[in-house]
Structure formats: structure tokens, C-alpha cells
Structure 1
Amino acid sequence: MTRHGRHPRDPAKKTAGFFVLCIAILLAACTSAPARTRHAGLDEFYEQAISWQTCDDYATTSIESAVYSAASTAECGRLLVPLNYQDPSGRTAQLAVMRVPARGESLGSLVINPGGPGGSGLFAAAAMSLGLSEERLTEHFDLVGLDPRGVGKSEPAVDCFTDAEADRGGYVLTTQGTTVQWTQQDTKAIVDRCAERSGGLDVLAGVGTRDAARDIDVLRAVLGDEKLTFLGQSYGTRLGAVYAEQFPQNVRAMLLDGAIDPHQGTAERRIAAFAGFQRAFEQMAEFCATQTVCPLGHDPDRATATFHRIVRPLYETPLPALTTDLDYDEAIGGVISGLYTEAAWPRVIAGIAQLQQGRGDELLQLNYDFALRDAEGRWTNFTEALFAINCMDEDRLSETAGNRLRADVFRVAPFMDPGVALTGARDGCEHWPAEPTLGYPYATDIADLPKTLVVSITGDPTTPHAGGVRLAETLGSALLTVEGEGHTIVTAGTNPCVNAVAADYLIDLEVPPAGTSCEL
């Protein structure tokens, strides 16, 4: 739960459409002014050309390599952006970009962000091209994925520890939802290590969402699109909303799936997200109770207490599992990883049953699959990038506030409660080299924003439906309500109703009537 890639560091934003797709596979009207007049000092960036090539060198794991190879028409390149937009003549970053050409006559680019923060846009574009290979979106749009600054194959990328250290579970990057107890020296050591391995403190200070949104506008211009067509999922809904706030005149269409409430601060949002995981745990327990054999028992009302008896001993005595021992936090992380999608519930149940037999292989593997760690032991930098981006976006909490938040998390999600007294919930960002730049609320009172569309699942375990409703109200968006369980749906390609609404909007700019809904 607390280690490299093994558990969502911010459950309100961790996964998005492409992660859900991977889990399903692995687990069962005004014209913008010319760039040179609107972007003083940025002409070289807005007027560059991407040199497209094969994507052979853009994968970080064998999983990514396989997906990129399957997306046979994909081409990759690099986008040059300033590391600090306040100093465009200074240090630069090279962002990895993938383009999968439209199967038919292209309307332009559909830029995709899969969430996280820290998710790879390259992987999202390739996976979407495969998952929607017969759908209208891939016929009419070039799918474009960008690894945001600090992420994946972009350079510099956030890097805090090695793959071997990740396998050993040697480093943690958060306290919330975990049993970790930090000192001030611990949090200072985290920042020092990340800065050393990532290329400097200025790299860590330059990965916030407001700068990432500016990168997207550079990408829009370089791709030759007068206006941006954007699909953001989970955290990607935040990125899209911030882009809309900064560049409303450059928006053509924006579909936001699995939405984050722009009015909620860090603590409020995390409490709501963990409450969603408790609800998902209870739903899974009800499913388990219908099976002949259920490690949680056949009374769903007692499932949390039964789970405690099984998992709490790991706090003192971890169990052997694959590459390392499975401790309490990693066991909880494995369960949460499987709660994002109903398809993974049988694996979670099997993993809980395996704990009773003295092994933790399945729950650890759930963590690995969720993080896209490959069979050779290679990790993406998802967790490190998520941590760094959140440091530039989120509220900084005092230790007292952190301890209170952790207690609140266990209160609303009692299945996670280790049953021990904990302190030391320090903010891992307390020594970060720059203050957060996002601010709350964000993306409010945007003038002249074109029609946008929010898609929200009623049983979303991590970005609650209420947040989708609130974002739609804030942006003046149309709202598509999807009745069912799960986190994000648009890129999965499995629901004809959602597919049709998404295509009608993104292609023809037709928003659904008020009250429109689909069912999973």
C-alpha cells in the first residue's frame, strides 16, 4: 500500500480509464490569436515540429512494449517545453508524445490524459486505439497521448528509487491510509533522494498541473489544431478543467470522465474517496457471501470484522509473497487495487483466502498488476510522479492535521483500520522546494467555455458521483450519469450507450439532453 506502485497514493485520483482497461486485461466559437501574439517568449515552443518515429524506444516495461507493438500504426516523438514557464529561456523538458492516426478521415487530434496523476498518456493512447478499434472515435480522430512533465518517458522524469528497492518495499511516499509513522528527517530524506535521482530541485518544482496544462496548449498548436479536443479521466478531469480555466478560447470539446470535485480540498476529497472504497468493499463482501466458499463469511454485515481477524496480524508478522514479504499496508493496497473494478473481486477474495493459508502472493500480485510492473521486475515511475505532482497541487497538512485525517480515513473506511495507535502522519511534501500552485477551488467562473461533457458512474469507488455532478455544475457541462459500479468508462469501449454519447459529443459536438443516463 505504501510502496513503489503498490497502492494508490491519492485514491481520489489514482486510476483512470486506461488503468481500468489494463486491470480488466490483467485482472480478469472564437478563433485563438496567433501563438506569437499570445505567448510572449514562447514562439520556439509553439512553432516547433515533432519528429515522428517508431515507438520502439518509448516503452519502460515489457507490458508497455507489447501494447505499443500491438498498436502498429502508432508513432512517437518529443515535445520541447520550458521547465519553468516564468523563465522560458532557461532549462527545458522533452515530453514524450504518441500519435495513433485515425482509421478514416481525421477531424484532428483527440488528446488523452488517463489520470493518476502520473499515468502515461502514451500507454493510454495505444490501449484506447486497441480497445476502441472498431468505434467511431478511432475512425475520426488521431489519438494523441502525452506523458506529462515528470512522467514515464518524458525527460526529466521523477525518480525516487530503483526497481530493486521497489520490489523490496524499501521506500514509502505517503502516510495517509497507511500505518507509516514518519519523522521530519524521513520527509527531508524523501525529497533529497527524489531531487538527486530526478535531476534537481527545479524538476520537482516544475511538475504541477498548471504547468502541465500549459504544455497541452503547446501540444495543441504543434499538432496543428486550432482548438483542443480533450478526453481526461480521473485526475485527467482536473487537468482538463485547469486547461479550460487557462485557455477557454482554445477549447473545441472536452469530455471529463470520473470527475474530481474542483471545490474539495485535499482532506475532504480523500475522506470521500476512502468512504467510496468502504462501500466497494461492502459490495464485494455481498458478492462473496453468495459463493459456496467465502473467506469473509456469509454475513456481509460482519465482513469487516472478519477481514480484521485475517489481515491485522500482518501488522506484526508479514507473510511470504513473491519477491518479498507482504505486510499489512501492502495487503490493504492489494485489496484496494482490486476494488476499482468488479472484474477483480474474485481475485481479491482469493487473495484474502490465501492469507488464511499463510501466503500473500495474490494480493501482492494485484498491487503489481495495478502498477503495471512487468514480469521482469521493471516498474513505471507512476508512484513517484503521482507523489511529486500532488506535492505541487495539494494542500500541505501539518502533522496534527495529518494524524486527524488518517483517523478520519479509518473512520469512514473501517476495513482499513489496523487497530493500533498511530502518530507521525507527516506530509511527505513538507520539505518540497516550492509551494503548491493549483489552489482550491479551481476552474470556477470560466467565461465563454464551449459545451463540455462530464461522465460519472454512480458507484465510482474513488471519484464519487457527487463530485461529477459538482464539476458539471461548475463548468456548465452536460452530465451523463452511468448507473453501476466502477471507475471511468469511456475508453473501455464495452458500453454501447456510453460509446454513442461520447462519439456524438466529441465528433459532432452534440451533448446529451439533461437527465440522460446509461447502465453498466
Structure 2
Amino acid sequence: MHPAPHTAAHPRRPLALALTALVALALTACTAGSGEGGQASGERGDPSVRPGLQRFYGQELAWRPCGDGLSCARLTVPRDYAHPRNGKTFVLPVAKAATAGKHDRIGSLVYNPGGPGASGVSDLKSDSGEVFSEEVRARFDIVSFDPRGVGGSRPAVTCAEPDDEGAADDAPEPLTPRTRGDRARALAAARADAEACAKGSGGILRQVGTDDAARDLDVLRAALGDRKLSYLGWSYGTSLGTSYAEQFPHRVRALALDGATDPSLNWSQRAISQGAGFRRAVEDYAEYCADIAGAGCPGTSPAEISGVLDRLFEEAAREPLPVSDEEAYEVDARTLLDVVTDAMYSPEDDWEALSDALAEAADGDATRLAELAEGDDASGDDASGDDASGNARSKRREAGNDDDALLAVSCLDTPHPRAAGPYWKALAPAEKAAGVYGTSSVVDELTCKDWPAGTQRPHRVRAAGVPPVLVVGTTGDPATPYEEARSLAEQFPGGMLLTYEGVGHTAYGRSNACVTDAVDDYLIDLKRIGADTIC
């Protein structure tokens, strides 16, 4: 997903984490790559026997116990598939929960939890393998890995602290920059972020894109001993899966993509799409809150609740909301936006806490909002993973490289204008479609303006020969709007769309038996679903 504060670095927050942070899941998955292992080269021959790639495809994983019944290993892949003999590599951590059903074993089920920037190994170690049903775990080894540049990858993307010197003033960056001064501050902050990443990781920033990560996935498939790939991707993982299908269509056994992104959208279309998704999710929240009319709800009608939110955004834009603890997080407009949008990922876990915090903030005390911003929510997770400014950036950088990798992959995957004009031009349609959720998404794209150029371009899926792909879309998904899932399913030859009528980010692994059964039947028996299947 994107450098924006509404994307989620982890799709399945109720289970472990949340999608990343604001808007732009820079998930445009890849063109049919023309380099080593791309679709074009795949048609000319098996990449595993191409000069320079044999040693990577022929490696054997040295598994070792790594706690909680898991086994871990390391996979070596070339940094540059066009020049695999130059000696430069990525070493990627891999984790496996081996099936107990040895006799009925189908093979490995590789999954990606989202991002970009989420560590698959950490996710599996956090018991997220339990999200898979007993039936699936009885037939597959559950496998995940850290993509290139992410988590325990060596090397990994590392962005230095932005240099804030030379900033015009200490005025907050508005969610909708209208004046020349506002826009100058937004550009300066975005430039500082880009320069910080170039300073810390300049040597690999062009090598962490999704196309190359998909080529790594094929090397992993071979190292696991599987003739064909069985794969499940949540959120950004759908982008990775789409790229794999385009480059290696004949190596796909089963491909389930939940919380999908549409690779045909350009940067501004994607930002506005996600911004609109969050706006709709907040409207769903307001209706839910009004219906339950709980004591902690900041209003008795959707209109009143929306009005409270609008007022808090206006106040926070002028100065941070008051808190009772002077050591507490500063709740400016950006922090408020992050807290609200983070809560949209997992309504079951977070809407009640959000209601209490908003009600208290409306009464003049934003301390509980500050606590949520610090990650003291019901699930104990810091869901956002965005690159928001101020304290949030510092706090998250201390936790790992999720945000840095999110930014790096997102910007590389999606072409962005080099001039500032197109971003300002996109503000009006973004505001009309999604209010501050849309304009802030556009602003967050500014960091990619000064990023190294990647090779991908918006495009419709090109995956001739791929078997039927299962796409899962949630009608109330805030971060990967349902319309994108529907579009992606239509783009795959023989693509199937499973619709979950609900709220929150992604569907499989939550609590809906209809979704679980349909996805499991597909993964195990390759069972197709009927057209217009709804759960």
C-alpha cells in the first residue's frame, strides 16, 4: 500500500496487524516484466535454467527450529535479475508451520500478510498461522517470508531521520493545503522524507519493487520443492500475487487474493479510491454508533457524530487538541486522522474504543485519542504503519522498518509526476470524493515525487494461461475498496469474485464461515465458486 497514512501494512488487523497507513497502497502490481523471469522470458524458457539463475533456483533451504513449532530458513535471491552474476544478493528470512497431515499433504501454501512492509516471518511467528482452518493446515505447510528490503531481509530498507532544518516555520501541515505556504511546507516535508530514504538506502531503492519480489517468490517456490505455487495474499499481498500471475502464469496452482487492488489505476486514481473507501467506512461507523446509541458514542445520530468529527478536525487543524497529560501524544489534525482511519480496519476491535475517545475529545479532553495514537488500543497493535509527520514518524521508526519499506516499495511501484502541479490539481476531485481522507491521501503521494523511477505502469492484468484466480472483496473495506476487487476479478481470465457483505479490511480469517469455506475449498480442491457469490 502506500506512503499515505491510511494504508495498512497488515491486512488482518483483528488477527495481528492492520493494513498500512493512509491511502495509497502503492500496490500497483507489475507489468509483465521483461527482465529475467518475467512473463516474456518465461515464454522463452524456464528461468531456473537461465544463465546466472541456476544457483538460486537450485538452492536447498536449511531449516532449523525457531520456536512455537516453526522452522526457519534463509533464501538467497539476486538483487538484480537482469544481472544475477554480479554477486549482489538479498537474503530473505522464511518461516514454515509444517503440516501434520504428511500423507494428504498437497504442498506449501505461501502467504503474504500485506503492506508493503509487513514481515511475513513475524506475522507467522505471532500465531497468525492459526487464521488458517484446520482443514488447510492439515493439507499444506503454511509458509511466509520477508520480501526484499522488508523486516529481516539483508539488506533492508532504512530511512534516516528527515532533516527538518530549513523549514519555513513550525506551523502544522494541513490535511488540505490551500495556501502557497501550506503547499511549500508539504513539499518540503515530502522532499525531506525522500532524501532521508535515499541517504539511508540509496543503493537498493531501485531494487525493492513488487515485480522483483514476485520473481523471489518463484525462487522460493522452487526451493520449497513445489512444482506450482499455492498462494494467499491479503491487501498488498494481492499486488504481489497479481505480479506473480503475470510473470509465471503456468506456475500457478491456486491464487487467492483478499482485499484486492486494481493495477490499472494511476497514482491519483488510487489515492482518491482509497480516500473514498475510508470516508465511506467512517460513515458506516457513524451509522453503527448511532444505532447502538451507547453511552460512549459521541452523538445520537449519524449526522451528529459526523459533525463532532468535522469540528474536531477543524479544531485540531488550528492547534493540537487539549490533553490532561502533558507527556501525552500531541493530537494534531494528522494524528486525529490516523487514529480514526486506523480504527476502520477492524471494527470488532476498535470502534468502541474510538467512540469513547471521540466523546471525551468532544468534551475537551483528547487524552484517550493520544493513547490510541500511541498504540494503546484494544488489540495492543500499532495499526497504521504510515509515514505521518511528527511524533508518529519517530515512534514507528523505533519499531522497525515497516514504514520505510512501505514508502520504498509504494513509490517504486507506482509512477508519479515530477512536478508539483498535478498533485495540487488532484486536490479538488479528492476533496469532492472523500473530504480530508482524499486530500490527505494526495498529499501523502508527494514523497514519491522525488523517488527513483521504477519500471511499472498502470495496466490491466496480462496473465494468459493462468488458472482461475479467486478474488475476495469486502463491500465496506476502507483501504482496498470493493470496486477494485471487482475490477481485478474481471481482468483475470476466468477470474472469480467472492463478495463479503461487511465492514473492515479483508474477509478471510475473520469469523465468516461462508468466506472461510469458499476460500478453503478453492485452496484445497481448486473448487470454483459461482458467479455473483455473496457471503
TM range (shorter): 0.7 to 0.9
What residue in structure 2 maps to residue 369 of structure 1?
382
Q: Deviations over 1:228-260 (max 9, x none)?
A: 111111111111111110011111110011111
Q: How far apart, CA to CA, are the structure 1 residues paired with 2:150 and 2:485?
A: 26
Q: Is the 8 A contact 1:32 1:249 kept in 2?
A: no
What residue in structure 1 maps to residue 227 of structure 2?
226
Q: Is the 8 A contact 1:458 1:482 kept in 2?
A: yes
Q: How far apart, CA to CA, are the structure 1 residues paired with 2:316 and 2:232?
A: 41
Deviation at 1:330, TM superposition (A): 0.9
State the 4+ residue runs in structure 1 displaced beyond 6 angstroms: 30-33, 174-180, 422-426
Q: Does 1:52 align with 2:68?
A: no
Deviation at 1:293, TM superposition (A): 3.4
What residue in structure 2 maps to residue 27 of structure 1?
none
- Choose from 361, 365, 370 the match for 1:357: 365
RMSD: 3.4
Q: Is the 8 A contact 1:352 1:363 kept in 2?
A: no
SS of residue in 1 equivalent to 2:474: strand
Q: How far apart, CA to CA, are the structure 1 residues paired with 2:438 and 2:457?
A: 31
SS of residue in 2 equivalent to 1:451: coil
Q: Is the 8 A contact 1:276 1:464 kept in 2?
A: yes
Of 319-328 and 377-386, deviating more is 319-328
What residue in structure 1 maps to residue 469 of structure 2?
452
Deviation at 1:468, TM superposition (A): 1.0
Q: Deviations over 1:106-147 (max 9, x none)?
A: 211111111211111113334565433652111111111111
Q: Does 1:440 align with 2:458?
A: yes
AA at the equivalent of 2:154: E
AA at the equivalent of 1:50: L
Of 508-517 and 186-195, deviating more is 186-195
Q: Does 1:382 align with 2:402?
A: yes
SS of residue in 1 equivalent to 2:399: coil
What residue in structure 1 maps to residue 35 of structure 2?
none
Q: Is the 8 A contact 1:116 1:386 kept in 2?
A: yes
Deviation at 1:31, TM superposition (A): 12
Deviation at 1:382, TM superposition (A): 1.3
1:10-29 matches, cutoff 5 A:
10=4, 14-22=8-16
**Percent identity over the alignment?**
35
> Residues 175 and 261 (structure 1 numbering): CA distance in 2 closer, same or farther, change over 3 Å?
farther
Q: Is the 8 A contact 1:129 1:143 kept in 2?
A: no
AA at the equivalent of 1:383: D
**Normalising by structure 2, what TM-score?**
0.80
Q: Is the 8 A contact 1:458 1:464 kept in 2?
A: yes
Q: Does 1:276 align with 2:267?
A: no
Segments of structure 1 that go 5 or more residues without pairing to the other structure are 1-6, 25-29, 56-68, 166-173
Deviation at 1:305, TM superposition (A): 2.8
Segments of structure 2 that go 5 or more residues without pairing to the other structure are 19-41, 165-172, 386-391
Q: How far apart, CA to CA, are the structure 2 residues paired with 1:13 and 1:183?
A: 19
Q: How far apart, CA to CA, are the structure 1 residues paired with 2:534 and 2:442?
A: 44
Q: How far apart, CA to CA, are the structure 2 residues paired with 1:423 and 1:256?
A: 26
**Normalising by structure 1, what TM-score?**
0.82
Q: Is the 8 A contact 1:195 1:203 kept in 2?
A: no
Q: How far apart, CA to CA, are the structure 2 residues paired with 1:497 and 1:337?
A: 26
- Choose from 493, 500, 515 the match for 1:498: 515
> Residues 481 and 392 (structure 1 numbering): CA distance in 2 closer, same or farther, change over 3 Å?
same
> Residues 437 and 376 (structure 1 numbering): CA distance in 2 closer, same or farther, change over 3 Å?
closer
Q: How far apart, CA to CA, are the structure 1 residues paired with 2:482 and 2:444?
A: 28
Q: How far apart, CA to CA, are the structure 2 residues paired with 1:296 and 1:181?
A: 35
1:183-198 matches, cutoff 5 A:
186-198=189-201
> Residues 323 and 364 (structure 1 numbering): CA distance in 2 closer, same or farther, change over 3 Å?
same
> Residues 280 and 447 (structure 1 numbering): CA distance in 2 closer, same or farther, change over 3 Å?
same
Deviation at 1:161, TM superposition (A): 4.1
Deviation at 1:423, TM superposition (A): 11
What residue in structure 1 maps to residue 303 of structure 2?
301
Q: Is the 8 A contact 2:271 2:438 kept in 1?
A: no
> Residues 215 and 133 (structure 1 numbering): CA distance in 2 closer, same or farther, change over 3 Å?
closer
Q: Is the 8 A contact 2:94 2:145 kept in 1?
A: yes
AA at the equivalent of 1:79: L
Q: How far apart, CA to CA, are the structure 1 residues paired with 2:175 and 2:57?
A: 40
What residue in structure 2 maps to residue 401 of structure 1?
422
Q: How far apart, CA to CA, are the structure 1 residues paired with 2:84 and 2:9?
A: 32
1:317-332 matches, cutoff 5 A:
317-319=319-321, 320=323, 324-332=329-337
What residue in structure 1 maps to residue 250 of structure 2?
249
